[in-house]
A and B are shown apart, each in its own frame.
Chain A
Amino acid sequence: MDEIAVALPESTTTPVGDASVGQAKIEWVRRHSPVLNGFVRETLADGALAGVRIAVVVHLEAKTAFLATVLADAGAEVIVAGSNPRTTNGDVVEALRAQGLTVVAEPDGDYDSWERELLAAADYAPDYIIDDGAELTMRMAQFRPELYQRLQGVSEETTTGTSRLHAMSAAGKLPFKTLTANDARCKHLFDNKFGTGQTTVQALLNLTNRQIAGARVVVVGYGFVGRGIAQYAQAMGARTFVIEIDPVRALEAHMDGHTIGAAKDVLPTATMVVTATGGMRAIGEADFPYLRDDVVLANAGHHDLEVDVDALAAASTLTTEPRTNIVTYRLGDRDIHVLSGGALVNIAGGSGHPVEIMDLTFAVQGLGIHYLATTDLADGVHIIPKHLDDAIAAAKLASLGVTLDEVRPEQEDDSADWLEGIPSA
C-alpha cells in the first residue's frame, strides 16, 4: 500500500486535566467491565490488530477510554476523538495520553473545535473507525477523499449512523466493509432499553429534585429507548402514558400497562414528558396548547430538536433559568420547563450509561473491529454475526457465575421424522 504523506497536528503541551484522576475513573470502569476486560481482551490477543490504526470516535469519557486502552493493549495504534464537543473529559484525556495513546479531543470545546478534532483524527489515516453517528466516516468522505479510499472498515454505534451508512452504500459511495453495532442484540436490547431507560429516569429526578411516585410521565415513542424509560418510570411508581404512531408498538405499550393516547388526550395530564422517537419535533408547536402548567420536558432521542425548543423560545414571553440545566419558558399563563436544552438528557444532564451496559456495547464494537480485520466481507453494511453476539452474552453470564443448559437430543422438535413421511412434490 502506498504511503501517503500525512500532516499530523502538533500535540498539545498544556495538560487539560489530571491524569491520575482520569486513571482512577478508567480503573472504576475496568473493574465493572468483565466482558471487555476478559473475553474481548483474550480474543484480541491473537495479534490481528497489531499495528492496525483505529480511530475511536465516541463520547470521550472513562468508558470509551477503557475500550481504547483494550484496543491499544492488543497492539493497535489508537487515535481517540470525541463524538460530541461537550462530553469530552479532560482528566480522561490526560490519562490516555499518559498511556501513550493519541488523543485529538479537548474538553470544553465547541462545534468548530470539534470539526478540527475530527479532521485531525482523519489525518492520522486510520485503517478502521469505531464511529458514532458516522461523524468521522462522513467527514473523511467529504474532506479527506484519498484517506477515505484507504479505509478498511467502520463499526458504527447508533441508529442514526447506521442509516447514514446505508445511504452511502446505496449511493455506491461506501468502498469498504462496515458493521452496525446497533443491530447487535447485545447492544440494542440492553444499551437502548436498560441503559437509556435507567439513566434518563435518573437524570430527570436528579436535575429536578422531583419525585417519581405519583408523577404522570408521558413517553413519546415506544422503540427500545421509549420502552426502557416507560418501564423504569412505571416500576418507580409513576403513572405512565405512551404516544406512538405505530399501532403494533402502541398495542405492546398497552399490554405493558401503559396508557396509550394521542398527544391531545394524554399531554394535558402529564407532569413530565420524555421524547424518544429518534425523529424531529416529537413535541412541537402543535402540541404546546396541550401542555399543562409546570410540565417538565426532556429528550432521550438523538436530535436536540425532538422537543422543539426553538419554537418554544419563539412563543415564550419570559425565559428563566431556575436551576442548572433547566430553562423555563412562559406560554401565556403556563410555565414549561425544558431540561438540558433539549439535548440527550442522560448524557448532557447526567453521566451517561451505566458501566455494565457499555461493557456490552463496547464488546460489540471491539469484537466488531476484530471481525472486520480478520474476515473477508463485501463492501457495504453488515451485521455482527450471531455467534459473536451470543459469545458476548455468554461471557457476561459466565462473569456472573451463571451456567446455561444445552438442548438434549430428546428435547428437539421431531420435524425430521415427520418430514420424511411427506411425499416429495
Chain B
Amino acid sequence: MNASMSETVTPSAGQGRIDWALRGMPVLKAIEKRLTESGTLVGLRVGVALVLEPKTANLALALNRAGADVSVYCVGRNTDGRVASALAEAGLQVFAEEGAGDERDLELARDFLRTKPDILLDDGASLIRLAHREFPELVASMLGAAEETTSGVRPLRAMNDEGALHIPVIAVNDAKTKYLFDNVYGTGQSCVMAMLDITNLQLAGRNVVVVGYGWVGTGVAKHAAAMGARVIVTELDPIKALQALHDGYRVLSLADAAPQAEVIFAATGIAGVVTAAHVADLPSGAILCTAGGGAFELPMDYLDSTGTGRIVREAITEYTLPSGKTVQVISEGDCLNCADAEGNPIEVMDLSLSLQALAAEQIATEATSWAPGVYPISVDAENAVAVIRLRHEGATLEPLTDELTAAMRSW
C-alpha cells in the first residue's frame, strides 16, 4: 500500500450530493439506458417541476442524457441552490432560485412554461393548473403530463370531471411501485426521523396520534411504533380503521384521542382535519406536525390568531392557548420531512422517479392518441421498476411454470 498514490477529490457541494444520490438509484440508471437505446425522448422538450434536490436532479439529468431537452422549475422554498447550480452547469435550463418568494416563483413558473414543454412532470399539479389557466396554446400543443402526488391527482380528477382538463395526465402516484413504497416507507421513515432530529426527543413510550391511515399514515404509524411509540390512529373510513386495529394500534376519534395525544402527525392531505377544539383538549406541550400534506391540515389560522407564536427551538413554534396550555408546531405545519429535512430517502425515490421517466416514455409513445383525462401508468412499467430493484438487491422471483399457470386457471 502506498499512501502517496492516493488522490483526494472534493466535488462541488451540489455535484457531490447528486453523485451520492445516483449510487442509490440503480433503477433510474437502467431506465436511462433503455430510453437512450430507444431514442424515444430525442428532441422532445421535457419540463421537470419537482422539488429541486439531488434525487430529482438525477431524473432531470437522466432524461437529458437520453436525448430530451430538459428544463427544470421549482418554488424557492423547495429549491436547493447548490443542486440548481450543478444542473445549470450541466446545460439544463433552470427556473428555480433558492429562497425566492411567491411573486418571483410565479414569474419563474411562467418563464418555465414559455419553454413550451411537450411533456410536463409535475408535483402537486400546480404547473398543469397554471398552464390551463394562462397558457391555452401551450396546453393545445402539449403531448401530456405526469403527476407525482396524491394531492395533485385529486384536483386533476376534479378538473377532468368538469371537462376542464385538456391533456392526458398519467397519475404516477397511483402506481403500486409508487404509493406502496414512497408513501409508506419513504414518507413514513423521513417524517418520523425528521421529528426526532428536530426535537432531540424520544418517541419511546409517547402517545402518538396518526391522523389518517392512508399510505402515508400507515408508514408514519409503522415507523413511530418501531421507535417505541404507542400509536393511536384516527380514521373516518371504517375499513382502514379496522386495518389499523389489526396492525396493532388503538383506533379512536381525534376528539377522544386528543387528551392523551403527546404528538400528532396529520397524514390526510385534507384541510382542517385538526381543529381548534381538538387543540384545546391536547395535553400541554403537545407536538403537532404534518406528514406528506401541508399546514392546511392544522388549525394554523386559529393558532396564529392567538398572537402567542414564538420560536422555542429551530423549526419549532410554541403557541400558548387561552387555557394557558402550550402546543408546539414543527416546520410551521408544513410537511416536516421536506421543510426541515432532506425529503424521502434515495432508494424509494429511485422507484418513484423511475416511474416518472417511464411515464414520460409512455406519453411520448402512446399518449398522442389519448383523449384528455387521468390515466394509470402501464402495468408493464410498474413491474419493470420492481423487477430491476429486486434484481439489484439479489432477490430472485418464483418462476411461473406451466403447471402453476394451469393450476391458477383451473376451476
Contacts and interface: CB of A to CB of B under 8 A. Distances in A.
B347 interface: yes
B102 interface: no
Interface of A: 24-25, 27-28, 31-32, 194, 198, 202, 205-206, 208-214, 232, 235-237, 294, 313-323, 326, 335, 350-352, 354-357, 400
A326 B393 contact: no
Interface in B192-229: 193, 196-197, 200-202, 204-205, 223, 225-228
Contacts of A351: 197, 200
Contact of B223 (A236, A313, A335): A236
What does DSSP make chain A's interface, helix, strand, loop or mixed?
Answer: mixed
Interface of B: 1, 3, 5-11, 16-17, 19-21, 23-24, 54, 185-186, 189, 193, 196-197, 200-202, 204-205, 223, 225-228, 285, 311-313, 316, 341-343, 345-348, 393
30 contacts: A24-B311, A24-B313, A25-B313, A32-B201, A194-B202, A202-B196, A205-B189, A206-B197, A209-B343, A211-B185, A211-B189, A211-B345, A211-B346, A211-B347, A236-B189, A236-B226, A237-B226, A317-B5, A320-B8, A320-B11, A321-B11, A350-B197, A351-B200, A352-B200, A354-B200, A354-B201, A355-B201, A356-B201, A356-B202, A357-B202
Query: 7 smallest A-B Cβ distances: which pairs?
Result: A235-B226, A211-B345, A322-B20, A211-B347, A322-B16, A354-B202, A319-B8
Contact of A214 (B1, B5, B316, B393): B393
Given A198-B204, A313-B3, A322 B17 contact: yes
Nearest to A402: B205
B313 A210 contact: no
Given A198-B196, A213-B189, A322 B8 contact: no
A210 B347 contact: yes
A213 B342 CA distance: 17
Contacts of A350: 197
A323 B17 contact: yes
Contacts of A232: 226-227
Contacts of B225: 235
Nearest to B19: A322
Given A28-B312, A320-B9, A315 B1 contact: yes
A191 B364 CA distance: 56
Nearest to A331: B1
Nearest to A207: B342
A198 B200 contact: no
Most A C-beta atoms less than 10 A away, residue of B6, B7, B24, B223 = B6
B8 to A, nearest CB: 4
A31 B54 CA distance: 37
A208 B228 CA distance: 23
Contacts of B21: 209
A282 B1 CA distance: 21
A176 to B, nearest CB: 34
Given A313-B6, A322-B20, A323-B17, A210 B346 contact: yes
Contacts of A315: 1
Given A25-B313, A205-B345, 9 more contacts: A208-B20, A211-B347, A232-B226, A320-B9, A322-B16, A322-B20, A323-B16, A354-B201, A357-B202
A24 B193 CA distance: 22
Contacts of B204: 194, 198
Contacts of A322: 11, 16-17, 19-20
A320 B23 contact: no
Contacts of B186: 211
Given A318-B7, A320-B8, A211 B197 contact: no
B216 to A, nearest CB: 15
A235 B189 contact: no
A205 B344 CA distance: 11
B7 A319 contact: yes
Given A209-B346, A236-B189, A319-B7, A400 B205 contact: yes
Given A214-B393, A313-B3, A319-B9, A354 B196 contact: yes
Contacts of B227: 198, 232, 235-236
A38 B263 CA distance: 23
A322 B205 CA distance: 37
A274 to B, nearest CB: 16
Contacts of A25: 313
Nearest to B343: A209
Nearest to B341: A206
A65 B23 CA distance: 41
A268 B54 CA distance: 28
A232 to B, nearest CB: 7
A400 B285 CA distance: 13
A351 B194 CA distance: 12
B347 A318 contact: no
B21 to A, nearest CB: 7
Given A205-B345, A315-B1, A316-B6, A27 B201 contact: no
A202 B197 CA distance: 7
A312 to B, nearest CB: 10
B329 to A, nearest CB: 14
